[in-house]
Structure 1
């Protein structure tokens, strides 16, 4: 696929619009999932993805084939996301101490919004993904990007440093700092990471629904994640704090993104 993608990029740069469309289809989900991990809210991630795709398209001729195309795409995406403040993401972001208060608030053994085991499983999954992804917003944008690239997307320090245009040593230092903050928080607060913690995903369903953090009638994550709560214990010796994130599968980008890009760039 790498060679095929490079060929498509060359054809796109030569003016082949069909190849350009195929290139965008190849990187659409990649950019959306990075944006979603950075911004939590699909609405913000969708807007960011569209802007990043436009940047990729309008700067495609500057790609000189000296690195993998996807590395170049990630560099454009991270340059955009490091300063981008989505409306909902900005409102939700908070320090770790405040997030701890949110986690400790409103725990209940009853769930008013689930009528059967299937609905309960979906709502638990929605809470798990919303809660753990929301935790990433407690990190500053630079440290958050490093954590996502290294721990979730599994880039090496050399690869991650190349994407962020920093030194591998600086990348490792940022990763160590971010990893420690996330690990400490999850170990102290998350029942999936540490069974001695009182918080379990089902105990937060009613509270987060009342707070409008999740919407039982419009789930943002659960329909795509295939019950990643159960996958946490199946990822070998990987530490639980990392397993929490890697257990969540990629989520497809909304079809409307491609429609918008085609209308604004590919057809006009």
Structure 2
């Protein structure tokens, strides 16, 4: 464990508010991005992140330095997310069969909402990330977090099982089941995962905007300079379904979350 981080945690536990703030800053993006992967909708992820950060602060004294602090943070976050039912995530979640039908609906060769190539590229990226992240909601909560921890965040079965508090054997079984479901779906539907499929990202833009699933004036995901769609095409070693998820960049935690936490904890 980083000695500097260890000292900050120790100071925070002794009541040093500045040290506590720096610990929060250290882990806020981990909590937010895990919440976003689990819940899809930034509004749900923001609410979950705030609660997770409060739990990290209030339980910081229980960290025993025997594991990596990052692993402990994920354990706290996972415990919360497995019981948290985000409103939008709960309403959107559906079986794989229904998600397949949704993907097949409303395809169009013309994108009326884009005024230039730059806007079109951003909207296509927004669809790609929204679609693949939304697919995760077809898994139940435990299978979903197991898949995220292993195939996206690259925890091994020993680390992952400790985070979700199940046996390593059970973790591997759940991972195998989740992988098969995601892989089979993408191989049958996704043009990025299987070139024999047509890529529907561009064709779905207008439909998803009309259904208010994407707001062209307030994109949730397509704000990175490098499109993850383009990155996937350059990855040849990883299985494509895994590469698609790992290509999606991490997103910075909204500043409002940190400000609210600081107010809650009376950190000036």
Q: Same fold (TM over 0.5)?
A: yes
Partner of 2:77: 77
1:63 Cα deviation after fit: 1.2
Pairwise mapping of residues 249-264 of structure 1 onto structure 2 (< 5 A)? 249-264=249-264
Residue 157 (str. 1) matches residue 149 (str. 2) = no
Residue 25 (str. 1) matches residue 25 (str. 2) = yes
Q: Match of 1:46, SS?
A: helix
Partner of 1:197: 197
Partner of 1:144: 144
Q: 1:91-141: per-residue Cα shift (whole Å, max 9, x none)?
A: 100000000000000011110111111000000000000000000000000
Q: Match of 2:229, SS?
A: helix
The total of aligned residue pairs comes to 268
Could you say what the CA RMSD is over the residues aligned between the two structures, in angstroms? 1.2
Partner of 1:236: 236
Rounded Cα–Cα distance in structure 1 between residues aligned with 2:166 and 2:7:
29
1:67 Cα deviation after fit: 1.1
Partner of 1:59: 59
CA contact (8 A) 2:106 2:207 kept: yes
Residue 211 (str. 1) matches residue 211 (str. 2) = yes
CA contact (8 A) 2:32 2:45 kept: yes
Pairwise mapping of residues 25-174 of structure 1 onto structure 2 (< 5 A)? 25-174=25-174
Rounded Cα–Cα distance in structure 2 between residues aligned with 1:208 and 1:15:
49
Q: Match of 1:193, SS?
A: coil
Rounded Cα–Cα distance in structure 1 between residues aligned with 2:21 and 2:226:
29
CA contact (8 A) 1:161 1:168 kept: yes
Rounded Cα–Cα distance in structure 1 between residues aligned with 2:86 and 2:93:
10
CA contact (8 A) 1:224 1:249 kept: yes
Partner of 1:224: 224
Residue 248 (str. 1) matches residue 231 (str. 2) = no
Rounded Cα–Cα distance in structure 2 between residues aligned with 1:64 and 1:36:
28
TM (norm. structure 1) is 0.98
CA contact (8 A) 1:104 1:199 kept: no
TM (norm. structure 2) is 0.98
